[in-house]
Amino acid sequence: MGEPKIVVVDYHKGNLSSVVRGLARAGAVACTSDDPEQIRNADGLVIPGVGAFYDAIAFMRQSGEADAVLDAVAAGTPLLGICLGLQLFFERGNEGVPADEGAVADGNTPEQAGGPWVDGLGIMRGSCTRLKSSRLKVPHVGWDQVHMTPAGAADPLLTGFAEGANMYFTHSYAVADDADAADVLARTHYTRSFPCIVRHGNVWGCQFHPEKSSALGQRILKNFVSIVEGAGR
């Protein structure tokens, strides 16, 4: 198929050039786009990690990007989420949700429900919530260890990845413990144990930033490009 075309989904929240450069170094033709048709027709997709859950999903829904991403996933297109991009895969999040706009589950007050909540893309089961600690600093910023599950050790995204390797994180929210264990490829321990690499079918996500994680992060991007190449054959 030649070099695969990978579209980095642009939801107008920041500079995405480091992700594009990393994918290009990994052998892909990479570009950013906010055009739903370009998103639907890409060989592979990346949702990057910029901004807050509510703002990102609101823009993706209003612009048609959310439907385009879900259509592409249903058609078998490989998708990689980075940081916030991973969080958007889940059923709901409570980052940046205006009190008068979010939904509250089970008739509880927002405080009781941990909300208000906004729906994510719903590709994976679970919630995304704030990291909390009286001892450790939040946001979680810097290099931290990634501990693979047995499924992670066998996954093509993590070919050549070392157990316990340090990757670069910068986030205040993470997937909660209501995620489906079958979707978790790796965990990191900071304020709590949270999924830091996930997979559901043709959808993968990394809570850390591979494009900022030196040679091993570049390896993950290269592995993703290989997955896209394989899907196009």
Catalytic residue among 83, 128, 196, 206: 83
Total of domains in the chain = 1
CATH number of the CATH domain containing 54 = 3.40.50.880
Structural domain for 19, as ranges: 5-97+118-232
Catalytic residue among 140, 196, 206, 211: 211
User: Would you call 211 a catalytic residue per the annotation?
Assistant: yes
Task: Note whether 203 and 163 are within 8 A (CB).
Answer: no
Which pLDDT score, from 0 to 100, does residue 107 have?
A: 45
Tell me what the pLDDT averaged over the chain comes to: 93
Query: How many Å apart are CA 182 and CA 5, to the nearest integer?
Result: 29
User: Would you call 209 a catalytic residue per the annotation?
Assistant: yes
Q: Per residue in 194-203, pLDDT tens?
A: 999 999 999 9
Assigned domain for 109 exists: no
| 83 three-class SS | coil
Assigned domain for 75 exists: yes
Catalytic residue among 65, 95, 196, 209: 209
User: Would you call 111 a catalytic residue per the annotation?
Assistant: no
Say which residue the tokens 């009781």 belong to. 112
Which pLDDT score, from 0 to 100, does residue 43 have?
A: 98
Assigned domain for 102 exists: no
Query: How many Å apart are CA 150 and CA 204, to the nearest integer?
Result: 16
Q: Per residue in 27-67, pLDDT tens?
A: 999 999 999 999 999 999 999 988 899 999 999 999 999 99
